[in-house]
Chains A and B, each alone.
Chain A
Amino acid sequence: MRGSATLARRPYARALALLALLLPSALLLAASQGAYPIPLWEFPQALREGGERAAVLWNIRFPRVVLAALVGGGLAMAAAALQGVFRTPLVEPGLVGMGGAAALGALLGLALWPSLPWLLPLFAALGAFALAGLLSRLAHREGPVLLLVGLAAGLTLGAVLGIVQFMVHDPQGRSLSFWTSGSFAGASWEGVALTASLLLLSGLALLRLAHFLNALALGEEEAFHLGVSVWSLRRWVLAWSGLAVGAAVAAGGNVAFVGLLVPWCLRRWVGSDYRFLLPGSFLGGAALAVLADLLARTLFAPAELPVGLLTTVLGGPLFLYLVLWEGRHA
């Protein structure tokens, strides 16, 4: 019997290709729109000519949309990995307090070494990792306990953040709303480079652990029986996703619910294999954040909405749905 002929693959490759097309389209669209619209087809000419339009594109639009993509992608990728460790689709860095912990870590970095901005993401990563480690001690409990503890931690950290914000002088003058709702205003190429390299590092590391994360979906005991060193896997996944959350939050603040929406949609419509889900979440989260940022800065232009508000409008109802209906099967 030729068994392999009867098995089919899920459309993982096709979905990745589609997402890989979606992202550059979103990036170009977002780069062309704004308070000063520059049609897409005039990009080459504008960049060749130099002058004001080139400056807008090079110094403002391009770094901004790329940073938005990195932050959204990093948060979604980290969320997918964390969901694997906690074995529930309800975990998202912002929702379980990791985002707040990362922001607090970043502020601590600012307070201690204000002249070393590249330390920020590392301090943020430490904050996120510390909180994730704390939560992972609760991972054996039922899902709701984890969520409630995460929520309580998130609220507390948010309040502490508000207080600390007053005491720390931020040379970039970022406000509390940057940390809690996210913003990509004032993006720079240095920030993009730093964030991209950290995310690349954590993304590659997580991808190497992807198949083990699949095994973890069966349960920790079953993963062990399949040869996974569960304890060490958990620690590394938490560390690398902590780094991704730290890099994302330090660069763009907490863009809420991207990490909930994107992996959920991908699991629902494509499949759960982490070898697909991690890169897929990155691409999907990146596109979503770019489009959300586009809306945030154009809806009420010249005023800007915090980008997290828009993702929350989409993600909040989904979260409710997950808790009320799908949570039962999780």
Chain B
Amino acid sequence: MLEARALGHARQGRWLVEGVDLKLPAGALVALLGPNGAGKSTLLRLLSGEWAPSRGEVWLGGKPLWAYTPRELALVRAFLPQHRGVAFPYTAQEVVALGRLPYGKGPREEERVAWALAQTGALHLAHRPYPSLSGGERARVDLARILAQETPILLLDEPTNHLDPKQQMEVMALCRRLAREGRLVLAALHDLNLAALFADQLVFLKGGRLLAQGSPSELLRPELLQEVYEVSFEVVRHRGRLLAFPVGAD
């Protein structure tokens, strides 16, 4: 569905992402993992079309990304950035309604906005001014805006930031549900175990390069994790689930 071909991006002479070949199928929740500065955000921005690659191409639905207009892109992929803010006191509901922008004024707008807010458990925040919301509340409203866009592809940069454990589980379960409906959900995450618990595939990045792509049971191996994060890991099986935890640098 979404495919990176020899993708590279350089800023000020430094390669943030280099030589990445990646095929992402529809109907999967894919977790993008790696240490800070591995190029996760850069890769997401390249895959979203926001940044033009310095090398290689991104293909989507039989066309390279550069052949899409911004509006065409907005109808096929939604992007949740890591750092978010709204300049003026819009209500949460108005912020989410912006997700309907690519569709123009449709009769279903309010219905879809309410649906999206309900999906992230933010319906009760609808009338609150966005600037008055807490970090966790904002995160859910922002995610609802992405959902309101109703795209087959969702690119999420740390969607679980600012969320407590229960909300993290809820958001990940929602992502998995969206993937089951046939969408591609690609989420940059920091929590290995959360990723392993919900994701169909893991993608490990390090130093801008793709290190591994595969299922959690294939990739949750101490050697690989140590290579990615430069810290020793132990992986244990607990009630049929793989749990990985760092045990210290050596």
Contact = CB atoms under 8 A, between A and B. Distances in A.
On whether the two chains bind one another, the answer is: yes
Interface of A: 1, 3-4, 6-8, 10, 83-84, 87-89, 211-212, 214-215, 217-219, 221-222, 224-230, 267-268, 271-273, 329-330
Contact of A87 (B72, B87, B93, B123): B87
B86 A225 contact: no
A229 B70 contact: yes
B50 interface: yes
Interface in B78-107: 78-79, 81, 84-91, 93-95, 98-99, 101-102
A176 B111 CA distance: 56
A276 B184 CA distance: 36
Contacts of A272: 88-90, 94
A218 B101 contact: no
Task: Say which size band chain B's interface belongs to.
Answer: 35 or more
Contact of B101 (A4, A7, A83, A228): A228
A225 B50 contact: yes
B111 A3 contact: yes
Given A8-B127, A219-B85, A222-B84, A271 B74 contact: no
Contacts of A214: 90, 94, 98, 101
A226 B149 contact: yes
Interface of B is mostly: helix
B24 interface: no
Given A225-B48, A225-B79, A7 B70 contact: no
Contacts of A1: 118
A226 B79 CA distance: 9
A273 B101 contact: no
Contacts of B22: none
B11 interface: no
A4 B126 CA distance: 11
Nearest to B112: A3
B75 A221 contact: no
